[in-house]
Amino acid sequence: MSKILIVNDTPIINKMLKRGLEAGGFGVDTVELGQEGIDKAAVGQYDIILLDYNLPDVNGDVVCKAIKADPNTKWTLVYYISSLDKETLARVIEQTGANGFLDTSIDVEDLCARIKTLLGD
């Protein structure tokens, strides 16, 4: 079973994504702070991390750079889930080494299918 970490400071979004992704066959953990995401990623052996950009303690760019700098997690897929405009997200992705972004406004079943494609499942 593929494991996903959601780093997002909005509990209702975490709950909705967790429920939908678990129904799609994924193991899912959620955290609400960037530093928690860094810490959890370091020990969780996740296949993909869904990362919000605007977090209350550190921004997603700090989280992504930390994950990509760690030899144990540098190959983990990191996709932003954010309301930032696409131009800004493209810049952030380039600067942080993230793999891209996923639109969470799509149907959760479509999101599951997209993640399965990204993971080669």
| pTM summary value | 0.93
pLDDT in tens, 45-99: 999 999 999 999 999 999 999 999 999 999 999 999 887 788 988 999 999 999 9
Domain residue spans of the chain = 3-119
Distances 28 to 6, 55, 90, 94 between C-alpha atoms, Å = 7, 19, 26, 26
Residue in 80, 70, 81 with CA at minimum distance from that of residue 43: 70
Q: Which amino acid is at 113?
A: A
| Residue 36, phi then psi, degrees to nearest 5 | -60, -40
Alpha helix locations (H) across the chain?
Answer: 11-23, 34-44, 60-69, 86-96, 108-119
CATH number of 3-119: 3.40.50.2300
Q: How far apart are CA 81 and CA 105, in angstroms?
A: 10
Please, which pLDDT band fits residue 121 given cuts at 50, 70 and 90?
confident
Give the lowest-confidence range in 5-19, 54-68, 97-111: 97-111
Instruction: Give pLDDT, residue 2.
Output: 95
Q: Which two tokens stand for residue 106?
A: 């799509």
Per-residue confidence at 109, pLDDT binned at 50, 70, 90? confident
The DSSP call for residue 108 is H
